């Protein structure tokens, strides 16, 4: 029997989950065994999974799961170097030259396990079957606006946290912007036609921020793009890949510019294809903005688990998108899972 083991998340500030109790009930009805770990942080209560008929396991007990279990989580595993013998479904961040990803692949090679990377679950046309993109863009734009607001007060953006829902986020951010008694900034979103860019633009528009929306057509020339520097905010919503143009080169730090805040929602600073190479590390909930230039200032927001700021909405949205693929877990050699396994094998170290 196919056995899906939903692990607790071990990353700080990660309250999301990729399966709801309703989804678990559908998997059980399809003959798939579901085990759900207890979690001290998960936004969706454990009782719902128990009521659906799932088996409950201790928090972080997945290393002792049966060898045939498929371990399902969202964010990365603890970087302890241990071999990984199980099949894992998660965001591995391992296939685009990331240094930490290389170490992860070595662990799979050592243990004989397989990574089904959620970013590479794609249909026959190459489109991802599920993504957190909309809420990443939404929350990313919000934090970038908070960074800009802090600049107006002569400060660096302070810590951010979880919101009970988007209405609470909008109320908090709106009050912060209104207190400035200044005109709203202008923003440019690159990748505006995608899920991430749509979320970023929606948040900006909800806050009364004028948005310039660019996508592939506007960046086809390969740059440079002085228009970016003419906006207060730049929101990068395009995931790095070979051929992605550099949107803000390092020389922009010393250039004459209006730009003072970058929200790199894609957040791939250690990728060889990073289109915003003015910073070298992700930011955190405790320190959301990294100052990379002075006079004028330039702050970069690059938090890599933004949707967890709105964990219930983002979990429910993502889980609904992913459920049809989870229902096909009984056949891992074809379809979405077969394609994901092929991608893993292509990148596995020799």
Contact 247, 262 (CB under 8 A): no
Residues 6+ apart with CB under 8 A from 51: 21
Residues 6+ apart with CB under 8 A from 61: 37
Q: Is position 75 annotated as part of the catalytic site? A: yes
- Per DSSP, 302 falls in state -
Task: Determine which one of 86, 88, 93, 341 is catalytic.
Answer: 93
Count of Cβ atoms closer than 10 Å to residue 139 Cβ = 28
User: Within 13 A of 311's CA, how many CA atoms are on the CB side?
Assistant: 20
Sheet holding 55-57, edge to edge: 55-57, 33-37, 3-6, 70-72, 87-90, 114-117
Task: Determine which one of 3, 25, 33, 75 is catalytic.
Answer: 75
Residues 6+ apart with CB under 8 A from 275: 236, 238, 240, 244, 245, 246, 247, 248, 266
d(CA 137, CA 266) in angstroms, rounded, equals 9
Q: Is position 33 annotated as part of the catalytic site? A: no
- Per DSSP, 329 falls in state T
Sheet holding 261-264, edge to edge: 210-214, 186-190, 233-236, 261-264, 298-301, 289-293
Q: Which active-site residues does the annotation give?
A: 75, 93
């Amino acid at each position: 029997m196919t056995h899906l083991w939903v692990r607790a998340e071990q990353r700080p500030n990660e309250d999301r989950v990729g399966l709801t109790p309703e989804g678990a009930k559908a998997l059980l009805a399809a003959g798939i065994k579901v085990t759900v770990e207890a979690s001290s942080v998960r936004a969706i209560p454990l009782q719902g999974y128990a009521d659906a008929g799932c088996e409950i396991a201790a928090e972080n007990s997945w290393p002792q799961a049966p060898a045939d279990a498929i371990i399902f989580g969202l964010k990365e595993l603890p970087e302890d170097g241990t071999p990984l013998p199980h099949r894992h479904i998660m965001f591995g961040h391992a296939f685009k030259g990331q240094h930490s990803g290389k170490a992860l692949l070595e662990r799979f090679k050592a243990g004989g396990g397989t990574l089904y990377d959620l970013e590479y679950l794609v249909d026959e046309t190459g489109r991802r079957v599920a993504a957190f993109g909309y809420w990443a863009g939404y929350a990313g734009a919000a934090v970038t606006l908070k960074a800009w607001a802090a600049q107006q007060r002569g400060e660096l953006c302070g810590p951010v946290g979880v919101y009970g829902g988007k209405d609470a986020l909008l109320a908090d951010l709106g009050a912060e912007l209104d207190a400035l008694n200044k005109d709203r900034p202008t923003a440019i979103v690159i990748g505006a036609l995608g899920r991430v860019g749509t979320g970023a633009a929606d948040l900006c528009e909800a806050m009364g921020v004028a948005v310039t929306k660019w996508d592939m057509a506007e960046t086809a020339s390969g740059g440079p793009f002085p228009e970016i520097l003419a906006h207060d905010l730049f929101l990068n919503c395009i995931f790095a890949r070979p051929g992605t143009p550099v949107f803000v080169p390092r020389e922009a730090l010393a250039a004459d510019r209006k730009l003072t805040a970058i929200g790199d929602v894609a957040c791939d600073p250690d990728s060889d294809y990073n289109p915003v190479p003015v910073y070298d590390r992700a930011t955190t909930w405790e320190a959301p903005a990294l100052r990379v230039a002075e006079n004028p200032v330039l702050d970069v927001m690059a938090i890599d688990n933004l949707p967890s700021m709105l964990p219930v909405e983002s979990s429910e949205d993502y889980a609904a998108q992913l459920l049809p693929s989870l229902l096909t877990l009984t056949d891992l050699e074809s379809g979405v899972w077969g394609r994901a396994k092929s991608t893993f094998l292509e990148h596995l170290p020799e």
